[in-house]
Each structure stands twice: as structure tokens, then as C-alpha cells.
Amino acid sequence: MPPLGLEALFVAIIDGDLARTKELVQRAIDQGTPPEEIVSRWMVPAMAEVGARFERQEYFVPEMLVSARAMQAGLALLKPLLTQRKVKPVATVVIGTVRGDLHDIGKNLIAMMLEGAGFQIVDLGVDVPAERFVQAVREHQADVLGLSALLTTTMPQMGAVIRAIVDAGLRDNIKVLVGGAPVTARFAAEVGADGYGESAAVAARVARKVLALDSAAP
């Protein structure tokens, strides 16, 4: 459970109540609550709870979408303040569905959950060629690259993207995560990825793990 204070905001995000989320975020800002505290103590745990409910099959895609939408609206109010205070995101993630594949439901959910966990997301969309991933990783100095595929025929593209990242000399500075219906942990290992998530619910956990973000925690 989060600390006492903005429980109503926590609940509003879980309920996917956009108007209430905006109202409560604005009130917290007006009352002088530090924006990074609003995000990390209240909003991120709310999206984590949404993810947990999704994992337990109490929440489904519609519930996740309306919560993410509320979260995004709240973050939009906070972003200028965070930038002003030079608050850094947890990490920057470049994400996209590989070339030849147009499926994006899973990829979009992952992006929402990672954004909800405090990551900065650069979403390249679908049918993304290897060179665009390379370009975006370089341009945004990304910490994580997320690759998605639904088709068995496009899975091998993930290997091609990873090779392009290696060839560009970027591999040592980035963690690569792969996912999608036919993707397995074994495939992830074979293709040279650092991690694999089997559903949107675990995305943030997997990303934090490969970045070793929690290893310093007591």
C-alpha cells in the first residue's frame, strides 16, 4: 500500500477515472506536493496495481486502456514541472513491432505499462525496419530496446535488429527485450536478447530487472 496522502489519486487511476485523476493531480500540484513524489509514490504504484490485476485476470484490456489513459492525462499535467525540475525518467525505452509485422495490441500495452512505471517511451509503431531502431536508440540514448512480433514469420527479424545494433556499436549500452505471442524465453536467448516478458503485466518488472534497478534496494 502507498503511504497516506493521495489515496484518492491512486484509486482514480485504478478506476480509469480521467477527470478525477486530472483534478487530483492538479490539486496536489497546487498544494505544493513535489511532482516526482506524486508520480513515484502514487501514480506508479497505481499502474503497478493495474498490472497486477491484469496478471490475475481481474482486469482485461479495456480496464488497462482506461487506466493508462487516466495516467497519461495526469502525467501530461506533471511533465512540464518534471522537466523544469530536471527529474530524469527511470530509463528511456525505444519500442516497436518489427518489419513485416503489423500487430500492435501487445506492444501498445507494454508501452503503456512501462510509461506507467516511470519510463520514457519512444514508440516507433509497427513494421519498423532495423535501421530505424538503430537510429532511434542512438538519437534518444535509449537504455532499453523493446521488440515485438506476433508472427512466427517475423520473429527472425528480431535477430536482424539485434545484429544491426551490434554492428552500430550500440549493443554494450542497451538492454534488449523481446515479446509477442510466439516468442519464448528460449527464443529470446537464442536470438541474443537480454530478457523476455510473456505479458504486459510483467513488462516493468522485466525491464527493471535487466537494468538492475532494484539490486541496490535494501
Partner 1 sequence: MRPCDRVRMTLSQVAPDRPPLDGAFRPEVWKSIRAYLGMHDDDQIKNMLGFDFRQAVIEPSAEFASTAVPAPVEAYVGVGSRDLVRILPTGEFEDDRGIRRVVDSTNTYFRFTHHPLRGAESPDAFTFPNPDLPERYAHISGQVQRFKDRYMVQVETGNIFRDAWELRGFEQFLMDTRLNHAFTTRLLDRITDHKIADVSRMIQAGADIIQMAGDIASGQGMLISPAWWRAEIKPRLARVITATRRPGVYYYFHSDGAMQTVIPDLIEIGFDIVDPLQPECMDVFALKRQYGAHITFRSTLSSQRTLPFGSVEDVRTEVRARIRELGHDGGLILAPSNAVQPDVPLANLLAVYDETLKSVGAM
3/182 with CB nearer partner 1: 182
Q: Which residues bind partner 1 (CB under 8 A)?
A: 16, 57, 59-63, 65-66, 69, 99-102, 105-106, 108, 126-127, 129, 151-153, 181-182, 198-199
Task: Give bridge partners of residue 176 from the DSSP assignment.
Answer: 145
Q: What is the largest CA-CA distance in the chain?
A: 54
Closest of 80, 89, 164 to residue 129, by C-alpha: 164
In the 8-state DSSP scheme, what is residue 180? S
Say if CB 74 and CB 127 are below 8 A apart: no
Least Å distance, CB 138 to partner 1, is 21
**What distance in Å separates the CA atoms of residue 85 and residue 23, rounded to the nearest whole number?**
22
* Three-state helix/strand/coil letters over 64-130: HHHHHHHHHHHHHHHHHHHHHCCCCCCCEEEEEEECCCCCCHHHHHHHHHHHHCCCEEEECCCCECH
Say if CB 64 and CB 52 are below 8 A apart: no
61/76 with CB nearer partner 1: 61
99/175 with CB nearer partner 1: 99
118/197 with CB nearer partner 1: 197
Least Å distance, CB 129 to partner 1, is 7
83/153 with CB nearer partner 1: 153
Phi first, then psi, for residue 25 (nearest 5°) are -65, -45
Least Å distance, CB 76 to partner 1, is 17
Least Å distance, CB 163 to partner 1, is 18
Least Å distance, CB 12 to partner 1, is 14
**What distance in Å separates the CA atoms of residue 198 and residue 10, rounded to the nearest whole number?**
26
17/143 with CB nearer partner 1: 17
Least Å distance, CB 177 to partner 1, is 17
